[in-house]
């Protein structure tokens, strides 16, 4: 298996700069604004859906009993809100085709 890289904000800025021709400063502003809007929506409890890419979904998980794998001692796990991502069918098809 080949090593996997990481796509960063800087990579997104560079892609906007090359593909659309925006300056690096303007590209950085666009990337930051998109991420800001996504975070703001999630913090308001909204799901974020990007057509053809996927959906970021907030889920509330109830309290449950977990177990320390080392000692076997049961411990309560507090209720919490988690963020999950569900890839769109188009994204899944692209990933399978690329692999």
**CATH number of domain containing 88:** 4.10.520.10
Query: By the 8 A CB rule, do 61 and 82 touch?
Result: yes
- 96 and 61: one domain? yes
Q: pLDDT truncated to tens, each residue of the chain (99 aa)? A: 456 789 999 999 999 999 999 999 999 999 999 999 999 999 999 999 999 999 999 999 999 999 999 999 999 999 999 999 999 999 999 988 876
| CA dist., res. 15 & res. 49, Å (int) | 22
Q: Which helix (H) or strand (E) holds 34?
A: helix 24-43
Q: Which domain holds residue 61?
A: 57-99
Residues 72 and 34 in one domain: no
Split into its structural domains, the chain has a count of 2
* Position 99 in a domain: yes
Q: Looking at the structure, tell me whether residues 41 and 66 fall in a common domain.
A: no
The pTM of the full predicted model, rounded to 2 decimals, is 0.76
Helix and strand tally (H, E) in the chain?
3, 5
Distance in Å from the first CA to the final CA of the chain: 11
Question: Which of 32, 36, 35, 8 is closest to 22 using CA atoms?
Answer: 32
In a domain, 52, yes or no: no
Spatial strand order of the sheet with 48-50 comes to 48-50, 54-61, 80-87
């Amino acid at each position: 298996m080949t090593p996997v890289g990481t796509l960063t904000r800087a990579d997104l800025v560079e892609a906007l700069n090359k593909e659309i021709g925006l300056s690096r400063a303007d590209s950085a502003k666009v990337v930051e604004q998109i991420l800001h809007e996504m975070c703001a929506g999630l913090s308001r409890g909204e799901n974020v859906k990007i057509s053809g890419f996927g959906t970021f979904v907030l889920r509330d998980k109830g309290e449950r009993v977990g177990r320390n794998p080392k000692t076997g001692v049961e411990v309560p796990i507090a209720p919490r809100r988690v963020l999950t991502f569900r890839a769109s069918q188009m994204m899944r098809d692209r990933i399978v085709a690329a692999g």
